Amino acid sequence: MISRYTRKEMSEIWSDENKFKKWMDIEIAALEGWNKIGVIPDNVVNEIKNKARIDVQRIREIEKITNHDVIAFVEQVSSSVGESGRYIHYGLTSSDILDTSLALLLRESGNIILRDIEILTETLKGKAIQFKDVVMMGRTHGVHAEPITLGFKIGGWYFEFIRNYERMKRAIEEISVGKLSGAVGTFSNIDPVVEEYVCKKFSLKQEKFSTQIIPRDRHCYFISTLGVIAASCERIALQIRLMQQTEIGEVAEVFGKGQKGSSAMPHKRNPILCERICGLSRVIKKNTGTAMENVALWYERDISHSSAERIIFPESLILLDYILTLLDRIIKEMDVFEANIERNLNITGRVFFSQKLLNTLVVKGLPRDKAYEIVQGLAFQSIREKRDFVEMVKASHEIKKHITDEEMKEIFDVKQLLKNVEKLFDNLR
C-alpha cells in the first residue's frame, strides 16, 4: 500500500511481523489443546513457548526454496526450538493456521474501522445540529427542488453511518470464526477438542462444517460491508465537491495555509481531499467483486482465493481507515458560506413554492390537471423572465379567485415548508 494513504496502527496489523506472530499464537494454542488431552507432554509445550522465535528474514529465505510460506514459517520456528520443535504444526494443515489467524487480523482491523465510524458519526451529529436552521436549496437531478436545511442534509449522512456502524459490527461477528479441523475439514488427524480449545482461547466461534478452509462467503460479506461503507464516504465527498463548484460555492473543504491549488493557476481552490476519497473508494468497491469470485472454489478448496486475499484485505482495510479519518477531518474543518446558500435559495425567484400552491388549489376544488397547468405556466414564466414567482402569483387573477391573501401568507412561508424538519432532529439528541 502506498504510504501516503496508510495510517500506522492499521499498517502494523498487516505487517509480516504481526502476521507471523498471529501464526505463532495459533500454533502454540494448538499445542496447548493437544496437551489438554494428553497427546503432547507439558515439558514440550513449555519448551516451545519459551524458546520459539520468529525470524522474518529467515522465513523469507526458506520460502524462496519451499515456495510455501507456512512450511517456511514452521521450519524456521521449529529450528529455533530444537528437538521439541517437531511437534509444531502437529496434526494441522496450513489453512488451519492461515484462516484462524486471518480471522484475528480481520477482527482487529474491523474494530479500528468501528472506532473510525464512531468518531465520524459524532462529528456528523454535531454539524447537523449546528446547521439545522441554515435553509438551503434541495436539489433533485441537480435541479432546484424544494428547501431543506444544511443540518438536514448532514443528518442524513449521520444516520447512514449509524447504519454502517451496525453493519460493521455484524461483519466482524460473521468473520470471527476459526477452524482447526485439518485437511478437508474432517478432523481425520486432529481431535475436535483442539479446535474447541483454540477458538475458545481467542473468542472465536467454531466453523461447524468447514472444508479445508473457512468458507469464503464469510469473507465476502466482510469485504462487501467495507465496500458499502466506502460508498457512503464517496457519497458525502461527492456532495461536498458538487457544493464547492464555483457557480454554487455553498461549502468548501479545508484549504491549508501555504497550500496550492494549481501549478499554473494561483486562484484555484480545488476539492482534492474529497476527490481523493472518491478515487480510493473505487478501489475498495472493486475489491468486493474479487471477494465474490473467491466464494466458488474447486471441491473442498483450491488456493485461487489466496493470492487475491493477500491484496484485497489489507488494501481495503488500510484505505477505508484512511478515508474515514480524512472524511472526519473534512467535515470538522469544512467552510460553510451562508451568504451563497441564501443567494442560491432565491436564484430561481422562489418557484420552490409551486407544490404547496398546487396542493392548495386542489383542496380549493380545482381539478389537479388544471391546477398543475396554471402553476407550471407561472413557474416557467418566472424562470424565463427572471421574475419573482410569489409576486406573480399574488398578481394572478386566476389564482386570486380561489386563494385569499391570508392563505397566501401561509403558502409562501419557508418555515411552514420546513415545519416538520425540526421534529426529525429529536432523533439526533
> For 113-130, how does the pLDDT look when each residue is reduced to its tens digit (9 = 90+)?
999 999 999 999 999 999
Percent of the chain with pLDDT over 70: 99
Q: What does the pLDDT average to over 14-41?
A: 97
Q: Which of 102 and 304 is assigned the larger pLDDT?
A: 102
Q: Identify whether 210 is a catalytic site residue.
A: no
| 8-state DSSP, 386 | T
Note the pLDDT of residue 266.
77
* pLDDT value, residue 255: 78
Mean pLDDT, the chain, rounded, equals: 95
357 pLDDT above the threshold of 80: yes
Residue pair 98/7 in contact by the 8 Å Cβ criterion: no
Domains of the chain, first to last: 1-90 (1.10.275.10), 92-342 (1.20.200.10), 351-411 (1.10.40.30)
Per-residue pLDDT, averaged over 35-61, amounts to 96
Residue linked to cell 498487516: 14
In order, the DSSP letters of 177-204 are EE----GGGS-TTS-HHHHHHHHHHTT-
Q: Using one digit for the tens of pLDDT, what is the confidence trace for 386-426?
A: 999 999 999 999 999 999 999 999 999 999 999 999 888 88
Phi first, then psi: what are they for 376, rounded to 5°?
Answer: -65, -40
Residue type, 144: H
Q: Among 18-22, 320-324, 424-428, whose mean pLDDT is lowest?
A: 424-428
User: What number is the average pLDDT over the span 285-298?
Assistant: 96
CA 36/CA 197 separation, integer angstroms: 9
Residue 262 confidence (pLDDT): 67
3-state secondary structure of 141: coil
C-alpha cell recorded at residue 304:
485461487
The percentage of the chain sitting over the pLDDT mark of 90, rounded to a whole number, equals 92
What pLDDT, on the 0 to 100 scale, is given for residue 428? Answer: 79
Packing angle, helices 217-243 and 150-175, rounded to 10:
160
Instruction: Single out the catalytic residue among 15, 79, 262, 304.
Output: 262
Q: Which of 141, 267, 307, 397 is catalytic?
A: 141
Q: What is the largest CA-CA distance in the chain?
A: 103
Closest CA to 391 of 408, 404, 414, 368: 408
At residue 239, the pLDDT reads 98
Region 364-369 average pLDDT: 94
Residue 1 in this model has a pLDDT that exceeds 60: no
Cβ–Cβ < 8 Å for 134, 151: yes
Mean pLDDT, to the nearest integer, of 286-295? Answer: 96
Tell me how many degrees the CA angle 112-113-118 measures, rounded to the nearest 5.
95
Across 361-374, b (16+ Cβ under 10 Å) vs e yields beeeebeeeebeeb
Task: Find the radius of gyration of the CA atoms of the chain.
Answer: 30
User: What is the grid cell recorded at 338?
Assistant: 451562508
Give CA separation, 26 vs 29, 279, 301, in Å: 5, 37, 21
Q: How far apart are CA 327 and CA 133, in angstroms?
A: 23
The grid coordinates of residue 174 equal 460473521
* pLDDT at residue 180 tops 90: yes
pLDDT at residue 107 above 90?
yes
pLDDT average, residue stretch 289-300: 95
Confidence of residue 429 (pLDDT cuts 50, 70, 90): low
Element (H, E) at 116: helix 94-130
Q: Are 24 and 77 in contact (CB under 8 A)?
A: yes
Q: Is 262 a known active-site residue? A: yes
Per-residue model confidence as pLDDT tens digits over 223-250: 999 999 999 999 999 999 999 999 999 9
| pLDDT at res. 294 | 95
- What is the pLDDT, as a whole number, of residue 147? 96
